Structure 1
Amino acid sequence: MPRQFVACKFRSSDTRTYTYANDGDPVAPGDMVKVPDRSGDGWKRVHVVSISDDAPPFECKPILGLAPQEEDAAPETETAADPLDGDEMPF
């Protein structure tokens, strides 16, 4: 399977794309993928805009794989209830 060079956006409204290398399962425009974050310890979710087989003239960071669907992402922790929920206002 040939290496893909994948143009991605962090937000759909971004005008700039960032190119990453993909040596894993093929991805397609519209997919959401994981890329390394700036610290290198975690990852960010990005939107695939386009694919190319031609290498750019610069080194590319790798795609880490497909990103989980937002519904499948880690559940948010419950927040404490509002102390005034269900209570009548004192004034």
Structure 2
Amino acid sequence: MISSRQYVAVKFRIADSRTHTYVWDGEPLAEGDQVKVADARSDGWKRVYVVSISDEAPPFECKPILGKVDPEPADALATTRPDAGINPEDLF
């Protein structure tokens, strides 16, 4: 496993125009991956959507990504239906 620091722009909802940048030191991520970031509500983390990746640090400190979200059975349908496996609340 090759790991290198990645600076990852994510969206909290797919329809968001704004992105937030986090840092990741694990196995390389790709656009479209879903990852976990800290969230004070619920069970301590929130699923977010990777929209871009860079190896150049931004001029501000980044919070860490907690981990990659394991695919769920519904996510397998995304290959045939683009909206499958997406939480409807993340769209708006």
TM-score (norm 1): 0.70
Larger Cα-atom Rg: 1
Answer yes or no: is 1:9 the counterpart of 2:11: yes
Match in the other structure for 1:58:
60
Check if 1:36 corresponds to 2:30: no
Structure 1 spans left out of the alignment, 5+ residues? 73-91
Which one has a larger percent helix, Structure 1 or Structure 2? 2
Task: Give the number of aligned pairs.
Answer: 71
Shift of 1:44: 0.5
Paired amino acid for 1:48: V
After the TM superposition, list the runs of 4 or more consecutive aligned residues in structure 1 that deviate by more than 6 angstroms: none
Instruction: Report the Cα offset of residue 67 of structure 1.
Output: 1.0
Task: Indicate the percent of aligned positions where both proteins have the same amino acid.
Answer: 65
Cα RMSD over matched residues?
A: 1.7
Q: Which runs of 5+ in 2 are unaligned?
A: 75-92
* CA–CA separation in structure 2 for the residues paired with 1:9 and 1:70: 19
